[in-house]
Amino acid sequence: MLKLIVFDFDGTLVDTFEDCVDAFNQALTDNGFPARDPKDYRHVFGQALPVIMKEVLPEDHRDPETVEKVCQRYKEVYAASEKARSLPYPGIRGMLDILSRLNVKLAIQSNKDQKLLDDITGKLFGDNVFDAVQGFSETRAPKPDPAGLYELMDQFGATKEQTVYVGDGMNDIMTAHNAGIPIIAVVWGQGRTADILDPSVEYLAPTRRALKKIIYKLMDFNV
């Protein structure tokens, strides 16, 4: 019986792709670097911000000082943006509303900056849906290290057998498996199809309806 469901944020619950790409490209151009094609971001999102920035900066400008400077500009741009195109995927909010009324804890785990994650989660979902919202912290290794996931499991007293992870890419798959828990991989996000279809993935959700059915089955909950 499930006790804790941990969701990735970007590409799993919310389509943030276009707003994030705009902020990254503005951060790059504001620092004199060329903007990148949106497809260049498609499979790097989900990692820690400095890792993404190193991927999109020109190869000869990936020194720590430059990465930090452009990351800081990204944070400023993204925080100030209205994020008008970042919306929950259809059907997600209704599913979360049902789950939040059941005997299960709901958490978000993301490599997005904690304050940015708190702000957008509050804006889109309010304060009564998630029991924990965990973003990037300088004091904790980012995903796919399982440290943050272990913290959430300890917080709610959930064992590996009572926890499931929901995500859209290899970083999420690795996070779950590094922690020894199953993954529900969703296909509508930013992950590569080859990664999501890997035989190590315990559950595959091609649609939001399929995701709900998998979760309800794991909870022994019939609707």
Among 52, 145, 162, residue whose Cα is nearest residue 107: 162
- Looking at the chain, the whole-number percentage of residues with pLDDT higher than 70 is 99
Overall average pLDDT of the 82-108 stretch = 94
The β-bridge relationship of strands 105-113 and 132-136 is parallel
CATH class for the domain made up of 4-15+86-218: alpha beta
Residue 162, pLDDT score: 97
> Which regions of the chain carry the CATH code 1.10.150?
17-80
Residue 222, pLDDT score: 58
- Looking at the chain, the whole-number percentage of residues with pLDDT higher than 90 is 85
Do the Cβ atoms of 123 and 91 come closer than 8 Å? Answer: no
> Which regions of the chain carry the CATH code 3.40.50.1000?
4-15+86-218
Tokens of 117: 């994650």
Residue 84, pLDDT score: 93
* Domain covering 17-80: architecture: Orthogonal Bundle (1.10)
Q: Is the pLDDT confidence value at 223 over 90? A: no
Whole-angstrom distance, CA of residue 17 vs CA of residue 85: 9
Say how many residues make up the chain.
223
pTM of structure? 0.91
